[in-house]
Structure 1
Amino acid sequence: MREFVLIALFCCSVCCSNETDNAGNPNNAIQDSNSSLAPDFTLLSTDFKQVSLSHYRGKIVLLDFWATWCKSCQEEIPIFIDLYDQYHDQGFEMVGISIDSERLKVVNPFIKKLGVNYTILLGEPDLMDKYNIVAIPTAVLIDQSGKIRKMFIGAQLEKPIYENELKKLL
């Protein structure tokens, strides 16, 4: 648990500033993946269900590693809500993975306030290691066969950045 908190604090210092515009932030990057298979996991959702990544096989999945205390993470959530609304019926799944140490105590009121309409899972420290997450927010785009196609490191505050990559997989 202590390691998880230290990682979370590091991530906050790297990517979560008081600035509202992260455009041009040198910490932001879009990385092509070597198309390795995304590590499977099973996590608890905010509605107390066990959810596995393998459950989404055959669909395009965007995993968003985030936290309630991360301002940049908060700014991306409306984009993810829109993407989910627009592309869910075409085989797209949006899955948020909260790294908050307070877990349900802070996550449920936060997602309710923002009107989050997609699945939110409660992350575990080892999952960040499995996905090589070094900063939040980080989003991981996974294709229908379960392979990682892109990693978006840092806030991408324009919907077309995600949308263009998503459309390539539809």
Structure 2
Amino acid sequence: MKGFLSIIFILAFTFGTSSGKGLKPYSFSLKDENGKIVKLEDLKGNVIVLSFWSTTCHTCRDELPKLSKLADEYRGKNVLFFGIVIDTKDISRIKNIKKEWQFEIPILIGDSVVISKYRIIGTPITYILKKDLTIGKIIYGDYPVKKYKKIINKLLKEN
């Protein structure tokens, strides 16, 4: 386990963000915390922020409230934020964590296919998708709000 965590930290600090730009990610259909199906294809035309997280991730505890505040800032501006939980399907646990960690972005329930297709090897990993649903940026670990804004604003200006 210690070796695995070391690899995650090396990836996060060495690369911080990853290429993959312009590639089309796996087009999922996932249930949200209220049982509604969310299809990635239905979100086309918006910049999409997908933050993969787990209930035991300490960095996620800081990252998700940050993203929630950003979601409030970008409300009505064609930017959608989702957290994709990868380690539980327990809705009451998810809602309790949202309350405890104090964040409001919608949560999608990840599955093994999504985890594999998005190559989730640790959390948080955040994909920022362009309006055409291609990858704009992949972020590993904690990331400054100022840099999120710079990426999102750039992608909003693209056609």
Q: Same fold (TM over 0.5)?
A: yes
Q: Does 1:65 align with 2:35?
A: no
Q: Does 1:159 align with 2:145?
A: yes
- Provide runs of 4+ in structure 1 moved above 4 Å: none
Say which SS state the counterpart of residue 134 (structure 1) adopts. Answer: coil
- Cα deviation for residue 155 of structure 1 reads 1.9
- Cα deviation for residue 75 of structure 1 reads 0.9
Contact 2:65 2:104 in 1 (8 A): no
Aligned equivalent of 2:19: 32
Say which SS state the counterpart of residue 90 (structure 1) adopts. Answer: coil
Aligned equivalent of 2:104: 117
Q: Distance in 2 between matches of 1:47 and 1:89?
A: 22
Structure 2, unaligned stretches of length 5 or more?
A: none
Say which SS state the counterpart of residue 123 (structure 2) adopts. Answer: coil
Contact 2:130 2:155 in 1 (8 A): yes
Q: Distance in 1 between matches of 2:141 and 2:70?
A: 18
Contact 1:14 1:27 in 2 (8 A): no
Post-superposition Cα deviations, 1:69-122, rounded to whole Å, max 9, x if no partner, equal 100011101210111011121100001000123532421111123342221011
Normalised TM-score (structure 2): 0.86
Structure 1, unaligned stretches of length 5 or more?
A: 1-9, 16-24
Normalised TM-score (structure 1): 0.80
Aligned equivalent of 1:14: 5
Contact 1:27 1:154 in 2 (8 A): no
Q: How does 1:1-150 map to 2 (within 5 A)?
A: 14=5, 26-28=10-12, 29-101=16-88, 103-150=90-137
User: What code does the residue aligned with 2:135 have?
Assistant: I
- What is the Cα-based RMSD across aligned positions, in Å? 1.9
